[in-house]
Amino acid sequence: MKLNIAVLPGDGIGPEIVEQAMKAVKAICDKFGHELSYEQALVGACAIDEVGNPYPDNTHELCMKSDAVLFGAIGSPKYDNNPSAKVRPEQGLLAMRKKLGLYANIRPVTTFPSLLHKSPLRSDLVDGADFMCIRELTGGMYFGRPQGRSEDGDTAYDTCVYTREEIERIVRLAYEYAGKRKKKVTIVDKANVLATSRLWRQVSQEIEKDYPEIETEYMFVDNAAMRIIQWPKSFDVMVTENMFGDILTDEASVITGSLGMLPSASVGIHTSVFEPIHGSYPQAAGKNIANPLATILSAALMFEYAFNLMEEGTLIREAVAASMDEKIVTEDISGEGKAYKTSEVGDWVASYITKK
């Protein structure tokens, strides 16, 4: 199979962690006989410094003609600490989401035995937890209009708007993903209070009939927030609207014990973007100490959900789990053990894939 990838390292630790992920990608392609074609482009602060635009036109053109985008991170203190800056790196991320039509954020939540002691929850609650949060990205209160404040400034208002089309495409996506996993979908809403949630539930109940082989449950968002803490192993694929998803994915991310281990994907109309959920960590840039495993796991997601190459994604996950078991990890999770360099972890994972 020919894999055509756009590689956007970005800022801070982005270039270092993406380099390690590409080592795993190349090892997988060599092992399984895939033809790999990739090209790098600028995004974020480095793009502003180079061309004055955080998401240049040539970067967008590359993304549009690629089958998938592997993305690092954006952000720089140079712009964070300058309140008068007219152009900011984060504007590049927003532009990319809008232009690529990225409508769904996918965050797998997976625990590793060697990190259970770092979770804020008891080990018996999180051991074996493995579920996926799917958040709608383009609708809801964040984008609804009208939005603003009254002339006297004493009243503020936001409008939550959803269309049938927006709900249907992301709920169907959730069922497609569940079909490749444990065949269970949890639809999270607040249908007892909100009109938009009642539309979500109505449309979801119609779609449910098209997937009889998949178990469906409906859950109010407050109950879902409790269930993530009380019984995280009860979930497989959770799908919800924009604001609820923003909150629930952050809650879910902390139960694993390390943000440096969590990948994500943003599924788009034109192409999809695969990236770690952590930021650019500028304090570590260039020091070869950043944890590359979330980015490597993002590459696993890319193989699985951009190319439907499940065996390849599974082998990358196996390699990452093996590196954890062998304690080939960076300083953020090494504890009292030896801390390996970013590049050493990337080399070890790639070598494991090659030898397997």
Residues labelled as active-site residues: 142, 190, 222, 246, 250
Cα–Cα distance list, 162 to 170, 174, 218 (Å): 12, 17, 18
- Let me know the angle formed at the C-alpha of 356 by 325 and 182, rounded to the nearest 5 degrees: 70
Give DSSP secondary structure letters for 18-42.
Answer: HHHHHHHHHHHHHHHTPEEEEEE--
The gap from C-alpha 249 to its chain's centroid, in whole angstroms, comes to: 10
Two tokens, residue 295: 């980015």
Q: What is the distance between the alpha carbons of residues 90 and 184, in angstroms, rounded to a whole number?
A: 35
Decide: 238 and 224 in contact? Cβ < 8 Å. yes
H helices of the chain, where?
Answer: 14-32, 45-51, 57-64, 77-80, 89-100, 123-126, 164-179, 195-208, 221-230, 242-254, 293-305, 310-325, 331-334, 342-355
Cα–Cα dist 112/127, whole Å? 8
| Residue 112 amino acid letter | F
**Burial (CB count within 10 angstroms: exposed 0-12, middle 13-18, buried 19+), residue 52:** exposed
Cis peptide before 56 (omega within 30 of 0): no
DSSP bridge partners of 275: 264
In whole angstroms, give the CA distance from residue 154 to residue 125: 45
Q: In whole angstroms, give the CA distance from residue 148 to residue 156.
A: 6
Task: Tokens 């193989």: give the residue.
Answer: 303
